[in-house]
Structure 1
Amino acid sequence: MKKRTLAMMMAALMLSTALTGCKGKYAASSQDTAAASAEAGTDAASDTAKTGTPKDTLVCAIVEDMTSMDPQETNRATNWAVQRQMYNHLVHENPDGSVDPELATEWEWLDDLTLRMKLRDDVYFHNGVQFTAKDVLFMIQKAKTTSISASTYEAFDADNTKIVDDFTIDIKLFHPYAAIRRI
């Protein structure tokens, strides 16, 4: 009997607490509501005028500010979430482990330590410059010298990685490296 009474009292207390938040101090008059709406509309219009028209503005909610737009300068999840929307990888590894082409169209192992990648010829940077094997080599060389990404790229032999032609690169490794598909 005591348990049932206690349960009923707790339920009544929880219900009264929940209902307390259902009504404000006073009911707003239609004039108050109209004035607030007009003021909010004016503020929104002035904000739009300052930052651009809605078609030119992308608003994203993220947990914290980005620290860098350079994917090799940071390993923070917030940066990665935004950068993944902006930059492509050579290949995309799916959750099931299968690999799809992204910037590389084909890849083959020439030997245990050499991966040949053929690149797309229809990719251009935002400034109009075409993406080539030189850009992949630059990325590997830069990654090896950056404190954040150096450990990820420690298996890469940048000095012996060779550009075969504008859209083909032979990536050399010091030792087998399973995560190479994630570059």
Structure 2
Amino acid sequence: MYDEEQYIEYVKEYLTTHNGAVPPHPLMAFRSKIQHTLRVLGWAKRLTEGREDVDKKVLYTAAIFHDIGYSEKKEFHAEQGAKIFYEYGMKMNMNLSFIERVRNLIYLHSSKELLKEKNIPIELILLMEADLLDEEGVLRMVWYTLDKGINGADSYEDVYNHIVMGNNKRLVNPMVTEKARYYWDEKQKLVELFTKQLEDDINVRT
């Protein structure tokens, strides 16, 4: 039932033909929605290593399809993505229970406030964690630096302030599972170390 390569190719084709692969800025091709999807899948796999309490096929399928709804602008992307997957699953004669579970994960994955709730499916927790872990830490610093450069940074201090602003919003660890909390903390430590070094370099006087 689970065919990872086929699912990935379908999502790539769908995003491409429905303008969902277009980056948010012409010079920001590095923020590819397809590449984001593959990284979220990678994080989902990393977070589930050694776990036996997770339906990995449901989780990995949801990770692959979670942002396919960005190809349509009529509705909120999670809602649209859930509909797209449902139609695909029915067309491919997938098990109805499997379709419903994956669809629900896609529909709810942007509701990150649910991480604070009890008794939500572990697959939903892990999908949201995997989504949040992407473009964090070093990757976020690269993104913010490029973003500031593209939009006309006047100085390294502009970049520094942009990174610090983003880091201040991430002081509280939102993760639930032990492994995800560890990765989040490690990423924020790297950002803190980087910004301290950057601040020191900026303030060097000769």
TM-score by length of 1: 0.26
TM-score by length of 2: 0.24
- The structure with the largest helix share of the pair is 2
Q: Which has the larger radius of gyration?
A: 1
- The structure with the largest strand share of the pair is 1
